[in-house]
Amino acid sequence: MIDVLEQLTPDGATVVMLCSRLGLSNSGEDGVSPLTLKEWNALALRIKESEIKRPSALLGLPAADLSRRLGIADAEAESIARLLDRGGSVALALEQLASSGIWCVTRVDDSYPLRLKNSLKHQAPPVLFGAGDPSVASRPAIGIVGSRNIDEDGTNFARRLGEVCARSSVAVVSGGARGTDRIAMQGSLDVGGYAVGILADSLSKTIRQSDVRSLITDGRLVLLTPYRPDNGFSIGGAMGRNKIIYAASDYSVVVSSEYEKGGTWAGAIEALKAAWCPLFVRSGETVGRGNHELIRKGAHSLSDANVADMNDLMQWMKENSSLQPQQELFSFA
């Protein structure tokens, strides 16, 4: 089984079996579920502190040995043994994905995106699926997010910011959703730039689109998801995706956000609290209350004039994120 999974280390292949739904039915009729992030973190610590030391050393051990060596309950050991006993089905699923251009990387592999691992630490997804050149995700990167329903001023801002990223050899990181995400990514890609799409659903479906395939082939677009590639959309999945956008970026920009409502607001508030990366928010007289309130809560201001005058985007972000955020004096009825 390990030989079949050439794209993964033995430890990585073990993590895929433990933490992904590959090879399991969507209906749950298998009677076993992959480990949650919390469960994997706890198990990883036990492995490290035990005589086993590495995930791949779990392979082939009966449940009784797992229980004894890891100091876990018999029921937990039995579930782990069952997850590890499906190497054949997982290998087949990964081969099928590879044939369509989808690869897999885990948190124990050296090729896992370093920025993501450093920012999220134990909150980083154990398994990532991707399509495209993974080195694109290692480029200097700006996360650009915002509402799906965006006005003309916001549209122009997102597009111009994407173009500035391209001129500065900086990748745009976004969620690929309709509205701000796609506009910013397209703004960069249209002028020869790079983009990293963090998807909440349907990686398998997305890469079948001809324009997406072309950009992936050109080496300018990489798509990543922490969910099974055929996963359907869910609110929880979208929120988990937002966290990765921020963590995969050196700096991030909120183009438009409703006030105390929607995924953009929730994601930005979480990013401010967690300090995954410095957060900028589009400012100006025409932006809505959500943008102003995010600046009042500690985000840095970024205006249309700032974007128009930028020569070195990363240097500008570095200099201005080191300043104390300016609290806007703004009142609402």
Q: What is the pLDDT of residues 83-117, one digit of tens each?
A: 999 888 999 999 999 999 999 999 999 999 999 99
Q: Which domain holds residue 171?
A: 134-321
Q: Is residue 104 part of a domain?
A: no
Q: Is residue 201 part of a domain?
A: yes
Is the pLDDT reported for residue 26 higher than 80?
no
Is the pLDDT reported for residue 235 higher than 60?
yes
CA–CA gap between residue 268 and residue 24 (Å, rounded) = 34
Q: Is residue 239 part of a domain?
A: yes
Q: Work out the end-to-end distance of the chain between its first and last CA atoms, rounded to an integer number of angstroms.
A: 64
**pLDDT classification of 30: cutoffs 50, 70, 90:** low
Are 69 and 157 in a shared domain? no
Total of domains in the chain: 2
Q: Is residue 227 part of a domain?
A: yes
Are 86 and 138 in a shared domain? no
**pLDDT classification of 303: cutoffs 50, 70, 90:** very high
Are 312 and 165 in a shared domain? yes
Mean pLDDT of the residues in the chain = 90
Helix (H) or strand (E) holding 296: helix 289-296
Are 186 and 88 in a shared domain? no
Q: Is residue 330 part of a domain?
A: no
Q: Is residue 164 part of a domain?
A: yes
CA–CA gap between residue 210 and residue 188 (Å, rounded) = 18
Are 93 and 138 in a shared domain? no
Is the pLDDT reported for residue 219 higher than 70?
yes
CATH number, domain containing residue 215: 3.40.50.450
pTM of this structure = 0.90
The CB density around residue 121, as the number of other CB atoms within 10 Å, is 11
3-state SS assignment for residue 142: strand
Q: Is residue 294 part of a domain?
A: yes
Supply the pLDDT for residue 279: 97
Are 187 and 296 in a shared domain? yes
The sheet with strand 102-106 has its strands ordered as 102-106, 127-131, 221-225, 195-198, 171-174, 141-145, 251-254, 279-282, 300-302
Are 229 and 314 in a shared domain? yes
Q: Is residue 110 part of a domain?
A: no
User: CA 3, 4, 6 angle in degrees (round to 5)?
Assistant: 75
Name, in order, each residue with C-beta under 8 angstroms of 305's C-beta and a sequence gap of 6 or more.
none
- Cα torsion angle, 286, 289, 294, 297, sign: positive
CA–CA gap between residue 195 and residue 197 (Å, rounded) = 6
